[in-house]
Structure 1
Amino acid sequence: MKQQPVSDATVVPRVGVAVFVINEKGHVLIGKRTGSHGAGTLALPGGHLELHESFFDCAAREVYEETGLILEPPQVSAQSELLSHSPRQKHALLRTQSPSQPVLASTASTPSPFDEDPPPQRSSILPTPLQFLTAQNSVRMKDHGEKGHGKHYVTIFMKASVKHDPASPQAQPQILEPTKCLGWCWAPVPYLLSAAHRQHQLQLLQLAAASEGRSFPVSIDKLLEAESLAQALQEADETSPVTSYGSPPILSGALGSNTRRSFSSSLSRFDGFQNVDTAEEALAWAEADDFARGAPLFQPLVNVIIDHPGLQIA
C-alpha cells in the first residue's frame, strides 16, 4: 500500500496563508483557482507556509509570486520574532533587490507612505500595513465529488494595501502562476460579503434538505451560476419569468416550497449590500459578478466571513 506523504492535508493539518489585498479604491483582490485544491472557486491570493517562515514573509512572498504586487510593509514585527534567537529569514530580501523578489519593510525600493505624506494622486484611503487578521480551522474540506474525510487546513488570514508606486498609481495584478489561477479581479468588499452569505445560506439549506432525506437537484455552484444568470436576465429586462430571488422556475420547483421561502427570505437580508453609492462602485460590482459567473467562494473564505461578522477587511 502506497504511503501518503506527511505533508498531505488528508493526513495531517497544513497551514495556509491567505491575504486580503486592498487596492487604492478599497477593493479586495480575488482570483479564480484552477489545477489544485479548490479548483473552480474564487479565492484570495496566498499559499502554504514554509518551514521557519513568518506569516508576514509568507503573505508578501505568495502575493508577489502570484500577482507581482508588492504589499505595504508591516509597521512592527511580531513578538515571537523579536524574542527569537535565530535571524529572521526573508528569502534573501536583504540582498540587492531583483525583479523576482518580493519586498518587505527594509528592502522597499521607494519610500514607505508612512514616512511621508501620501502623494496627491493617491486616493483618500489610508495605506494598510501588512497585518494579521485571524485564523480559521477548516477540518473537513472537500472539493466537488471528493471522497473520504477531506483535507484539514489551518488558514492564516492577513491583510495589506498594495504598496504605492508613483509610476503605476493603479494596482494591476498579473497572472504569474497560470496553472494555479485563471485570472484576478478587484471586488468591492460588500460584493464579497454578499457572495459569502448567499453561499452559506445555500449550504444551510442543503444540510436541512439532507436531514429530511431530500437532496438538491444540482450542486451549489450550479445554483449560484443559475442565480447569477437569472439576475443578469432581470437586469436586461428579459421577459422570461423568474422567482423573486432570481432562480429559474425549474430550480425553485425542485427545491420544494419550504426551501424556496427560506432561500428567498435569507437572500433578502443581504439586499442592502447591493445599494452602491456611485456609478463607479456599481461598475466594480458588475465586473466582479461577470468575473465570478456564479463560481462559489473557496470554503475557508466563506467560513472566515461568516464566523467573524465584524471582521475589518478593508
Structure 2
Amino acid sequence: MENGSAAAPVPRVGVAVFLLKGKSVLLGRRRSPGAGNSTFALPGGHLEFGESFEECAAREVEEETGLEVDRTEFLTVTNNVFKEEPMPSHYVTIFMRAILADDDERVPQNLEPNKCDGWDWYNWDNLPTPLFWPLEKMVISGFNPLPSLS
C-alpha cells in the first residue's frame, strides 16, 4: 500500500465438497453478511497455505459438520466473480467429491452456527432453493457430482 490507498482485491481459493450419501448431497443454509446469505451451499472453505485440495476438503467437512470423509477426489474448478455483493469478491473454487468414512450414519452437526443454519441431506434430483449462485450455475449446466456406474 502506498499513500494510504487500499490494496487491490485479489482472487481467493475456496474448496467446496460434494459430500455424498447414496444419491443425496449434504447442504447447509448460509448465514453470511456477504455473498449468498440464506442460500443452500456445500460444506467448504478457504484453502490454507501448503494444504492439498483433499486435505482442505476433509478438514472443512469435519470443522463444519463433525463428519469424517474417506475418499476425496477432484471434480472441477470454477471461476466466480461476485461484483454486486456488499463486498465484491473473486473466488477460484475447487469442487471435490467425498464419501463418508465407513458409510457413517452419524447426523451432521452444525459446528459453525454463526455461518450456517444447519445441515441436511437432499436428493440430487430434488434440491432445495435457493441454491448458492455457483452451485445453482453448475446444476443448471447439467453438472452431476454422482459417480457414474460403469
Residue of 31, 34, 54 corresponding to 2:31 = 34
CA displacement 1:223-244 (0-9 Å, x = unmatched) = xxxxxxxxxxxxxxxxxxxxxx
1:63 maps to 2:61: yes
Q: Distance in 1 between matches of 2:29 and 2:38?
A: 6
Say if 2:129 is the partner of 1:191: no
Q: Secondary structure at the match of 2:63?
A: helix
Deviations, residues 121-171 of structure 1 (Å, cap 9, x unaligned): xxxxxxxx210000011123544xx38xx3211111001111126xxx523
* 1:221-260 paired onto structure 2 within 5 Å: none
Residue 135 of structure 2 aligns with which residue?
301
1:18 aligns with 16
Name the CA distance, whole Å, in 1 between partners of 2:11 and 2:73: 23
CA displacement at 1:191 relative to structure 2:
1.3
Deviation at 1:296, TM superposition (A): 1.4
- Letter of the aligned partner of 2:53 in structure 1? F
Distance 1:140 1:70, change over 3 A: same
Structure 2 residue runs without a partner (length 5+): none
- Bigger relative CO (Cα 8 Å, ≥ 6 apart): 2
1:132 to 74, 81, 86: 74
- Name the counterpart of 2:144: 311
SS at match of 1:53: coil
The CA distance in 1 between the partners of 2:4 and 2:118, in whole Å, is: 36
TM-score under structure 2 length normalisation: 0.84
What residue identity is the alignment partner of 2:118? G
> What SS does structure 2 have at the residue aligned with 1:51?
coil
Structure 1 letter corresponding to 2:29: K
1:30 Cα offset (Å): 0.3
For the Cα contact (< 8 Å) 1:136–1:303, is it kept in 2?
no
Check conservation: 1:67, 1:173, Cα contact below 8 A: yes
TM-aligned CA deviation for residue 306 of structure 1: 3.0
Runs of 4+ displaced beyond 6 Å: none
Structure 1, unmatched stretches of 5+, are 73-128, 193-291
In 1, are the aligned partners of 2:16 and 2:43 still within 8 Å (CA)?
A: yes
Q: Residues 30 and 43 of structure 1 are in contact (CA less than 8 Å); yes or no, is this contact kept in structure 2?
A: yes
Contact 1:31–1:42 (8 Å) recurs in 2: yes
Structure 2 residue aligned with 1:154? 92
Contact residue 71 and residue 163 of structure 1 kept, 8 A? yes
8 Å CA contact retained: 1:136, 1:304 = no
SS class of match (1:304)? helix
Mapping of 1:78-117 within 5 angstroms? none
CA displacement, residues 13-41 of structure 1 (integer Å, 9 cap, x when unaligned): 11110000012x33100000103432211
Q: How many residues align?
A: 144
Q: In the superposition, relative to structure 1, how do residues 142 and 59 fare at CA in structure 2: closer, same or farther (>3 Å)?
A: farther
TM-score normalised by the chain length of structure 1: 0.42
Structure whose alpha-carbon radius of gyration is higher: 1
User: What letter matches 2:23 in structure 1?
Assistant: G
1:182 to 91, 106, 117: 117
Structure-to-structure mapping, 1:204-283, within 5 angstroms: none
The residue identity in structure 1 corresponding to 2:76 is T
Question: For 1:63, what is the secondary structure of its paired residue?
Answer: helix
Change (3 A) 1:2 1:187: farther
